[in-house]
Structure 1
Amino acid sequence: MTGNTAFDPTVPPSGTGCVECEATQGWWFHLRRCALCGHVGCCDSSQGQHATAHYKATGHPVVQSFEPGEDWLWDYAADDVRESGPRLAEPTSHPVSQPVPGPAGRVPADWVSLLHR
């Protein structure tokens, strides 16, 4: 698995939602945070799949769930769950008040049928 060079615990997340979805007024299902640069992107079930796109564009291999109550890591380079890593800078999730999927007001009524499976 990828070493600790995949982490920068001093970098805060880029925001409370997917950077690319926010820029296009899109929506997401779940959020992932790059453990190296803090980029917040949407998961592979989301239409944009921006967390994976960020890995492919940058080579930053590890993301952490950016969902409240979750701290698991995914290592794209190893294509596997990573059991541990350094604690990342706060906040470690989007606000609990932020709906899933989100953000409020931009999720289509038929969102379930739009998920990638």
Structure 2
Amino acid sequence: MRAGYPAGPDPHIAFVREDVTPRTPGVCEACLRTRSRWVHLRLCLTCGQVGCCDSSPNRHARRHAALVGHPIVRSAEPGEHWRWCYVDESFA
């Protein structure tokens, strides 16, 4: 159970679009522009922005979520099938 929410699905799931596709498959958009490196990639499930994870130097996926209000990402790594909500800091 998330703090402040009743048991049940993450209320931010409403932001998830089923038809979202990566805008830059296999690369972090912002790292590509700034010639930075990344560790792992995350896909915004609202707009398709690909950003780097919190273990990466610039944490672009989290920054994107905070700046534009798109709370849920999924791993863009091969073989990983999980989603994360930055608002609730929990799996979604």
Q: Does the TM-score normalized on the shorter chain lie above 0.5?
A: yes
Shift, 1:30, TM fit: 0.4
Shift, 1:54, TM fit: 0.3
Q: Unaligned stretches of 5+ in structure 1? A: 83-117
Retained in 2: the 8 A contact 1:2–1:78? no
Separation in 2, partners of 1:78, 1:45: 19
- After superposition, residues 1-117 of structure 1 pair within 5 angstroms as 1-15=10-24, 16-82=26-92
Shift, 1:3, TM fit: 4.0
Relative to the length of structure 1, the TM-score reads 0.66
**1:53 aligned partner, one-letter code:** R
What is the percentage of aligned positions where both structures have the same residue? Answer: 41
RMSD: 1.0
**1:65 aligned partner, one-letter code:** S
Runs of 4+ in 1 over 3 A off after TM superposition: none
Relative to the length of structure 2, the TM-score reads 0.83
Q: Residues 34-92 of structure 1, C-alpha deviation per residue, up to 9 Å, x if partnerless?
A: 0110100000010010000001101101000000000100011211011xxxxxxxxxx
**Count of residues paired in the alignment:** 82
